[in-house]
Amino acid sequence: MKKIVVLISGRGSNLRAVVEANIADVEIVAVISNRPDAQGLVWAQQQGLRTHIVEHQNYVNRCDFDVALMQLIDRYQPDLVLLAGFMRILSAEFCVHYANRLVNIHPSLLPAFPGLHTHQRALKSGCRVAGCTIHFVTPELDCGPIIAQGVVPILDEDTPESLAQRVLSVEHQLLPQAVHDFVSGKFSIDGNRVIRHSKIAVDKNICLLN
């Protein structure tokens, strides 16, 4: 059984997608949020999951917050730490501590549009497609090895909100599959590339690295 700690900051819809996928040999041992009002915490508690709050505003600096967060996570000795809508930039020390077992989902087709406001930037740039990326987290922001990417078309009438909603629906499909592949050992890391050991069938809107 692989143990997973999930970090959230808001609604926790990607957390819900992972839980409802009922992935074999996976136990979500804790859900942690930096925001006490995160709606995802309520849902997690309703599912009987253990929840914690480490409020970043209670710490003088990012380093102190990250240390407190690491100490809590390490109590669970997780095989995977999953950033599922966790809206904090983590320190290099944090990323190194969980190297090759810290995974994030980002709402753009990296390396395009790292950081915030991804959908607005994609529309402003005239892109014809958008999407999401699941990647390992490294000290350099949104630059870690890419596990999988999902693509949606950008429509002429799109707004940042409508585009975000369609990308989110792909995230909900892509993230559980990536978690399954991680715990099943279906890929490895070679430098900044993820090498997949077996091909799998996926939804036509999702592109997985092979």
Among all residues, which ones are annotated catalytic? Answer: 106
* Closest C-alpha to 192, from 139, 131, 130: 139
Residue 131 near residue 149 (C-beta atoms within 8 A)? yes
CA distance 84 to 1: 21
3-class DSSP string for the chain: CEEEEEEECCCCHHHHHHHHCCCCCEEEEEEEECCCCCHHHHHHHHCCCCEEECCHHHCCCHHHHHHHHHHHHHCCCCCEEEECCCCCCCCHHHHHHCCCCEEEEECCCCCCCCCCCHHHHHHHCCCCEEEEEEEECCCCCCCCCEEEEEEEECCCCCCHHHHHHHHHHHHHHHHHHHHHHHHCCCEEEECCEEEECCCCCCCCCEEECC
Residue 166, token pair as written in the block = 């369609």
